[in-house]
Amino acid sequence: MSKMNLLQAVNHALTTAMEQDPHMVCFGEDVGHFGGVFRATSGLQEKFGKDRCFNTPLVEQGIIGMANGFAASGTTVVAEIQFGDYIFPAYDQIVNETAKFRYRSGNEFNVGGLTIRTPYGGGIAGGLYHSQSPEANFTHTPGLKIVVPRNAYEAKGLLLSAIRDPNPVLFLEPKRLYRASVGEVPETDYEIPLTVADVVQEGKDITLLAWGAQIEYAEKAAAMAAKDGISCEIVDLRTLLPWDRDTVAASVNKTGRLLVTHEAPITSGFGAEIAATIQERCFLSLEAPIARVCGLDVPYPLALEKEYIPDQYKIYEGIKRTMNF
C-alpha cells in the first residue's frame, strides 16, 4: 500500500494498464511530455514512447473521432478531454458514434475498448467554463457507462475496470479532489466492479445518496446530524449509467427516507431520475418526500462559488427538513 492522491492513483492505473497491454494508447490535449493540465499523465510518454502517449490538437470532436477509430480497430484507448466543460464539441461523436457504433454496424465496428477521461465539477475557482458537471447530459445515452470515483482508492480500481470493460466508459474525475483526496492505495493491480454502489456508512433514519466529491459533504452532514440523534446511511453510487437501483432501493426500504445530492443544477439533474425510480420502487416505505440538495439553476458563478455548492450545511438542512416532515 502507498499513500496517493487521486491524481497519482489515476496515473498509477494508466501505467498499470499500459504495462499489461502493449497496444494501449492514451492521447489528448497536452497529455504527452507536459503530463496534462493537472499532470495526470506525467511520465507516461517517457515510459511508453510517443507512439502510445501523445498530444492532440485542441479539437475535442477530433479527439473522440480518432479514439472511435482506434477502438474500432481493436485498440484499447484512453482519450482525455481536458475539462468536462469542453466535452460538448465531441457530443455527437460520443452519443451517436461511441455509444451506437456497435449497434449500427452489427458489431463489425466495436468501440468498447474506449475510455474517455475528463475532470469535472467545481471547487477550484474555475468559474463558468471550468466548473460544470455534465453527467446528466450523457446518462440519457444507452450504450455508455458513466463512472465517478470519490477518492484515490476508487480512482485506480474503477479506472482499471473501466479500461478493461467491454463497453465504452465516460470516466468523470472530480477535480476538486485531485490533490485533496489522499489515501492508501494498493500498488498491485486491482479492480472495483462497475455498476455496483458502495454503502459508505450504515444508518437507519435516512439515506444520503451521492457520488464523487459530494460524498465528502454527505459525510460531514451525517456527522452533524448524528449530534441530533439522526442516523444517516450514505451510499456512493459510483456508476451512474447503469446505476445500482437494487442497493439504493434496499437502503431506502430500510430507512424510509432519501436525500440525493449532486453538484450539477437541480433541474433535470440525474437526481430527478433517481427520485422517480425510487418513488416507484419504494413508495410504501417512504416516510417523507424524496429530497434533492443540488446546484442552483444558474451558470456556475466564480465570485459566489461557495454559495452555489451544495455543501454539508445545505445537506444538513435538507436532512432536518426531511426528518421533520
Active-site positions?
A: 60, 130
Per-state percent for the chain, helix, strand, coil, to nearest 5: 40, 20, 40
Most distant pair of Cα atoms in the chain: their distance? 60
Residue 299 neighbours by CB under 8 Å, 6+ apart: 128
The answer to whether 192 touches 238, Cβ cutoff 8 Å, is yes
Cell, residue 111:
468501440
Dist CA 69 CA 65 (whole Å): 6
Cell, residue 123:
471547487
Cell, residue 188:
498491485
Dist CA 33 CA 43 (whole Å): 7
Question: 75 φ, ψ to 5°?
Answer: -85, 140
